[in-house]
Chain A
Amino acid sequence: MTAHAWTLAFAFLILGPLLGALLAGLDRILTARMQSRRGPPLLQPIYDVLKLFEKDTLVVTSLQTLYLWGFLLFMAISGFILFLGGDLLLSLFALAVSGILLCLAAYATNSPYSNIGSSRELMLMMAYEPMLLIVPLGFFLVTGSFRVSDIIAGEPWQVLELGGILIGFLFILTIKLRKSPFDLSSSHHGHQELVKGLTTDFSGSDLALVEIGHWYENVILLGWLYLFFAPLGVAWALPISLILFFGEVLVDNTHARLKWAPTLRLSWWVTGLFGVTNLVLLSLFA
């Protein structure tokens, strides 16, 4: 591991939330423009979180804060491994642990809305986990390694070989980013059926932790997307992955929310149709 890799990893730890906040701000501006609104300033998400820290924190049980810290910690570990050029599978497992801890935090409060929110979140995890796990497998078949540093050093045309997996990944990226039609575990608006779902009973600094965790998560997901194009060089890879990333905003604004059963069925079908087929073809012709 080079000094460069360590710098990048620590840069992620410190600057990751900042970058994530910018992505979130850009997302809000884009959404507003699509709805013919002006939208908030770019730094609005940061203002929001700073304000959350100023507010009183009410908890149903003090343990919920513990689980939330765990969520944030494992999210940071996942990103750290990714940006260090480490093992993609490990990064994925840390991401899963982090997701489970977030659900536990919501379960711990035991209000009906949090309960349904976390149950739905778990169902979403069940929906996207297979596809997310297939991504490293695809990279392994192409480059012979689970290591991010080896994947980056791969052949420029690996994205073509992994076309199906890329499509599958973009599909579940919508779920991971909590975008419509798959935003069924928590909603942006407190007046909807689920109130705020998963985050109903978090407030003040607890809610700020969740927000920061999501900023980290968005950067990690952007990193995963970047990996597909990484061998093309930064000049190509970064713009392409950013465009695809913000393509999700368009999807968000043009779709209504689905129920959990179609979501689960649809994502497993997409995983099977694109992800698995891609893997099978790779193993046959590799």
Chain B
Amino acid sequence: MPLIALLILFPLCAGLAVLSTRDIEQRENLVRWLAYGLGGATLLLALLHFRTEPEFFTLGQGLTGALDNLFMLGGIAVSLYLLYACRQIKGREWYIPVLLLVQMGLMLFVELAPEHPVVARPFYLDSFSVLMALIVGVIGGLICIHAVRYMHDYHAHGHGAQEAKTTCPERRRRSFFFMLFVFLAAMFGIVFSNHLLWLFFFWEVTTLCSFWLIAYSGTDEAVRNGFRALGINLIGGVSFAGALVWLTHGPGLHTWELDQLVAAGSALALIPAVLIAVAGLTKSAQMPFSSWLLGAMVAPTPVSALLHSSTLVKAGVFLLVKLAPVFHNTYAGLLLSLIGGLTFLVTSLIAINQRSAKLVLAYSTIANLGLIVMCVGIGTAATLWAAILLIVFHAVAKALLFLAAGTTAHLIGGRDIEDMEGLVYRRPALAAAMLIGILGMFLAPFGMLLSKYATLQAFLTVEVLPLGGVLLAVIIVFGSAPTLFFWSKWMGKLVAVPRRPQPSELPLPRDEAIALFSLAALTTLACALFPLIDWLFIHPYTGSLIGAGLIPALDGHLPWETIATMSFMLAALFLLPILFWLRPPQFQASSGYLSGANVDGSASYRGAMGAEREVASRSYFLTDFIREGMLTRVGLLGSGCLLILMMLTGAIR
């Protein structure tokens, strides 16, 4: 318990400390040390509590009451602050204050209920939440370290808008790190709260932080996108609050404790679980709620990295994974899986169209979360195993990719994938980090392979509706082909030899290098040691669920030979370049083939009228073949229908 309190309070105090430091250099040093401290604290937690059985903590009567009041007032304060922020809304954003008021009303209706369930054990800890804390602490910490230098350059390069510059940029800059740390504190709160009302408070704080961070630069675009994120997350908030109303005033189940909600099973808990799942879908940017994550790309890169890898979207899937036992073997669960599946398919296809590295990453995030949601909806031990592994791999690899893309953009001055041509030769270290990230995201024998393996097997043996499992498997089959296309296309650009030497003198800043190489090492380690992660954190968690009879006993686990073969392939992929580096072949160098009309090496050729012409070739984006607009509409419509169906089947049950 002290550790949990420490983890929630430490980033909060850290944020306050950063806020109160005036000197820029001093502040940057402070952020570095605090980030290391945070990572260290989560590592300590993991060391003390790996393979732990679920532990619940009770607090004294007085403390619980005080915290109850504190969080209630805090929740009201958050809502009031957001209402105050709404003075900047325009035209069609009128629904945001309305949602805020509805949510506040619902919450007061819950909190001021004359008779309400008593929460005996407000905090808990199990091996899954320890794993999540590790992700939040270590990856979040590394992102903060990267941000120190990045934000320095960000302001120096004048990315921030004119408005932000005139209106006291210094205060905003100081608040930036404060908000990052508060965000992390709220994530720890979500991960360890068993008290649903407190969890909801932390949930609201993450909404607030994401709104503030997305709108950080203060440009009109950033503010609009910030409000879009706020509005969509509030839809989830209202839905969550609705679940709490049901759990307080509704017929049937009365509880404010997460573990009891999960233990109640699908017969009793399906309605609130579906409502909370809607909140989870909004946070994890599933269709039809995905647009805010794309808008969030206007934020500085470290913020994108944080939103995408370790914090906001992971909060959504974290809660969904927690609720998975309720969804097991229900139609609502199958529909949830289909929402995830549709999101996966549509966004994987759209990602092919994208030129900007950040947008490709954003769409692939949504697609990957879709895959996780697919697993959760089925809710067997094998799919939960896959979902949690996907969360881990996605967190490390995506943080790495975002930070690498951000650093690359600073060093070579271009955000498009086309600009990254020849990065392997121009910036070998950066390219290596990026390649490791891409490999970690999709290529065998890494992340996607394992999860695909487990999910395909699980889907084909699913019982709810025989057709449902095949449908999900087919979605994976068709969705993974475009994934392969856009990632390979990107790698192709990275490995292409530059036609002309393009020296770049800018050195890689130390903070960014530390963050990138740590994350690259973490990605590699996660891939190499995933059976260890499984043994330390995932197996105990699914084991305790099986022990409690919430999900069926383990079946169809990966055979050891499969894991051995995967490890062998991984080793081969790493050893081959090393061997090659040790004994490089001595071949004669030549220039690329230009029909024999080369003028300046591979770079130019003698054209039709005898003139010298530059060689240029671009990637395929298939914009005529895959129409982004149409696909988005189909996705929104389809997922919207599925969502309504899911809520209906939840209600009928």
Give the interface of A toward B (CB within 8 A): 1, 56-63, 65-67, 69-70, 73-74, 77, 81, 86-87, 89-90, 93-94, 96-97, 100, 103-104, 107-116, 118-119, 122-123, 125-127, 129-130, 133-134, 137, 140-141, 146, 195, 200-201, 204, 206, 261, 264, 268, 271, 276, 279-280, 282-284
Contacts and interface: CB of A to CB of B under 8 A. Distances in A.
Interface string B298-312: 000000000000000
Interface string B590-634: 111111000000100000000000010101101011000000000
Contacts of B565: 81, 86-87, 90
B67 interface: no
B588 A137 contact: no
A62 B444 contact: no
Contacts of A97: 443-444, 569, 573
B84 interface: no
Contacts of B33: none
Given A110-B496, A110-B499, A123-B620, A137 B473 contact: yes
B604 to A, nearest CB: 12
B456 interface: yes
Contacts of A94: 444, 569
Interface of B: 421-422, 424-425, 443-445, 449, 453, 456-457, 460, 466-467, 469-470, 473-474, 476-478, 480-482, 484-485, 488-489, 491-493, 495-499, 559, 561-562, 565-566, 568-569, 572-573, 576-577, 580, 584-585, 587-595, 602, 615, 617, 619-620, 622, 624-625
A126 B492 contact: no
Contacts of A62: 584-585, 587, 589
Contacts of B580: 65-66, 69
A114 B470 contact: no
A126 B479 CA distance: 10
A64 to B, nearest CB: 8
Contacts of A283: 460, 466-467, 469-470
A129 B481 contact: yes
Contact of B497 (A108, A123, A282): A108
Contacts of A126: 481-482, 484-485
A280 to B, nearest CB: 6
A261 B592 contact: no
A90 B562 contact: yes
B477 A96 contact: no
A283 B615 CA distance: 53
B560 to A, nearest CB: 12
A93 B445 CA distance: 8
A69 B580 CA distance: 9
B593 A200 contact: yes
Contacts of B445: 93
A58 B485 CA distance: 29
A60 B480 contact: no
A33 B443 CA distance: 42
Contacts of B559: 87
A104 B495 contact: yes
Contact of A119 (B484, B620, B624): B620
Contacts of B480: 129, 133
Contacts of B568: 77
Nearest to B590: A58
25 contacts: A57-B585, A57-B587, A57-B588, A60-B589, A61-B497, A66-B577, A87-B561, A90-B566, A94-B569, A96-B484, A100-B443, A110-B421, A112-B617, A115-B492, A119-B492, A123-B620, A125-B481, A129-B481, A137-B473, A146-B457, A195-B595, A201-B593, A206-B587, A279-B474, A280-B470
A65 B585 contact: yes
B498 to A, nearest CB: 8
Given A60-B602, A114-B593, A133-B480, A109 B497 contact: yes
Contacts of A81: 565
B449 A93 contact: yes
Contacts of A206: 587
Contacts of A107: 491-493, 495-496
B315 to A, nearest CB: 31
A65 B444 contact: no
Contacts of A77: 568-569, 572
Contacts of B495: 63, 67, 104, 107-108
A104 B591 contact: no
Contacts of A70: 573, 576
A111 B444 contact: no
B457 A140 contact: yes
Contacts of B449: 93
Contact of B424 (A60, A63, A113): A63
